[in-house]
Amino acid sequence: MVKWLEGIGNDEDVVVSTRLRLARNLANYRFPNFMTDDEAEALTDEILNGMKDNVYDVPYKFYRIRDLSDIERSVFVEKHLISPNLAKKLDGGSFLIRNDERATVMINEEDHIRIQVLMPGLNFEEGWEISSKIDDSIEGKVEYAYHEKFGYLTSCPTNVGTGLRASVMVHLPCISMTGHINSIIEGLTKIGLTVRGIYGEGTKASGYLFQISNQTTLGESEEDIIKKLNRVVQEIISRERSTRAYMLDKRNHQMEDMIFRSYGILKYGRIISSAEAMNHLSNVKLGCDLGMIDYIKPKDIIKLMIKIQPASLQKTVNRDLTYEERDMYRAELIRKKIRSLEG
């Protein structure tokens, strides 16, 4: 299950998710990369104490990275619940995750604390409300490293200031197919935004999914950062929708052929790689969003995109798989899911 995807979000035909992440450090400790094991343990206890009376009265579960298997750690990454960097922190890394999976408090990642909130669709308002309340709850119990001029102090200088990284994952198949995605990425870079792959920094776009986020956190308020990103995302949503309408008008038969070819491969294929599956699932999601496939919910396709990733797949079958076995089990899982969604 991908709990954080449950519920209805805004503009879900284009926007998969909204993520807000706050970087914070405690005043009396060195940054994680310079901490001893004892310091990391003491800091973890202090943060856990700060989370005892969380403002939402929603249960959290605590995990230590070293207590999880390689596959379990990777599953949390594939579900976007922790960062790839935290998954590598066997010494001192841990996290608290809310039962609905919409909030994660990562401990001893690049910074002492990374508060992450995930919302389905475009939803900065509720996401920021949850983030702020968790932040206030912890700050009431600990002393943050804060400078009157520079703001919150962080391990990486690019996060100094608000410590806020706001990002939106968007599905842009038609902008990508028409070759306009590169010019959009270039334009976003010029106004201080960045575009990354499905799992953030250092990853490539897959299935026409892109993460758009702010690059700087210094010199702008949290409200300014969110307002700017929201405005740009609204423009991109409009651009993707208008491009879809154009392609339906001018290339209707080609669009239908592409979408249903992908559907057929997913429904009957016996061997399929992760990359190929992501491309075909992306096409099917587009077909669902356009109403060509009206018996499958687009969100079910997004969930399937996560479920077919290597670690999640191995977690499902409950054993390690070779590359060849993964491709066969992935195809089998997709076939079964497609047929179950058809009813």
SS (H, E, C) the chain: CCHHHCCCCECCCCEEEEEEEEEECECCCCCHHHCCHHHHHHHHHHHHHHCCCCCCCCCEEEEEHHHCCHHHHHHHHHCCCCCHHHHCCCCCCEEEEECCCCEEEEECCCCCEEEEEEEECECHHHHHHHHHHHHHHHHCCCCECEECCCEECCCCHHHCECCEEEEEEEECHHHHHCCCHHHHHHHHHHCCEEEEECCECCCCCECCEEEEEECCCCCCCHHHHHHHHHHHHHHHHHHHHHHHHHHHHHCHHHHHHHHHHHHHHHHHCCCCCHHHHHHHHHHHHHHHHCCCCCCCCHHHHHHHHHHCCHHHHHHHHCCCCCHHHHHHHHHHHHHHHHHHHHC
Domain count, the chain: 2
Query: What pLDDT shows up at residue 54?
Result: 60
The domain boundary residue, chosen from 240, 271, 288: 240
Q: What is the pLDDT along the chain (343 residues), one digit of tens a residue?
A: 789 999 889 999 999 999 999 999 999 999 999 999 999 999 999 999 878 766 556 789 999 999 999 999 999 999 999 999 999 999 999 999 999 999 999 999 999 999 999 999 999 999 999 999 999 989 988 999 999 999 999 999 889 999 999 999 999 999 999 999 999 999 999 999 999 887 665 556 788 999 999 988 888 899 999 999 999 999 999 999 999 999 999 999 999 999 999 999 999 999 999 999 999 999 999 999 999 999 999 999 999 999 999 999 999 999 999 999 999 999 999 999 999 998 7
Terminal CA-CA length for the chain: 19
Nearest to 202 by CA among 47, 88, 71, 50: 88
Query: Is 111 within a domain?
Result: yes
In a domain, 162, yes or no: yes
Are residues 263 and 218 part of one domain?
A: no
**How far is residue 17's CA from residue 332's CA, in Å, rounded to a whole number?**
27
Instruction: Give residue-wise pLDDT tens across range 261-278.
Output: 999 999 999 999 999 999
pLDDT for residue 258 = 97
Q: Are residues 218 and 300 in the same domain?
A: no
Residue 246 falls inside a structural domain: no
The pLDDT assigned to 53 comes to 67
Whole-number pLDDT of residue 52: 76
Closest CA to 229 of 20, 9, 12: 20
Residue after which a domain boundary falls, among 206, 240, 274: 240
In sequence order, the β-bridge partners of residue 167 are 19, 213
Q: Do the domain assignments include residue 245?
A: no
Q: What is residue 219's predicted lDDT score, i.e. its pLDDT?
A: 84
Q: Are residues 70 and 44 in the same domain?
A: yes
Domain membership flag for residue 227:
yes
CATH number of the domain at 233, please.
Answer: 3.30.590.10
Can you read off the two tokens belonging to residue 194?
A: 């960045």
Contact between residue 312 and residue 306 where contact means Cβ atoms under 8 Å apart: yes
Same domain, 189 and 143: yes
The fraction of the chain above a pLDDT of 90, given in percent, is 87
Alpha-carbon separation of residue 233 from 15, 16, 127, 160, 173 (angstroms): 9, 12, 16, 24, 15
125: in domain: yes
Q: Are residues 154 and 294 in the same domain?
A: no
pLDDT for 202 equals 55
Q: What is the largest CA-CA distance in the chain?
A: 64
- Is residue 152 located within the same domain as residue 297? no
On whether both 159 and 268 belong to a single domain, the answer is no
Residues 225 and 268 in one domain: no
247 located within any domain: no
Pull the structure tokens for residue 228: 């700017």
Q: What is the pLDDT of residue 205?
A: 72
Backbone conformation region of residue 121, classed left if phi is above 0, alpha if psi is from -120 to 50, else beta: left
Q: Is there a single domain that holds both residue 33 and residue 151?
A: yes
The predicted structure's pLDDT at residue 198: 74
* Single-letter amino acid, residue 333: L
Residue 257, domain extent: 252-342
Do 192 and 287 reside in the same domain of the chain? no
Length of the chain: 343
Would residue 43 count as lying in a domain?
yes
Q: How far apart are CA 280 and CA 261, in angstroms?
A: 8
Select from 217, 240, 263 the last residue of a domain: 240
What pLDDT, on a 0 to 100 scale, did the predictor assign at position 250? Answer: 94
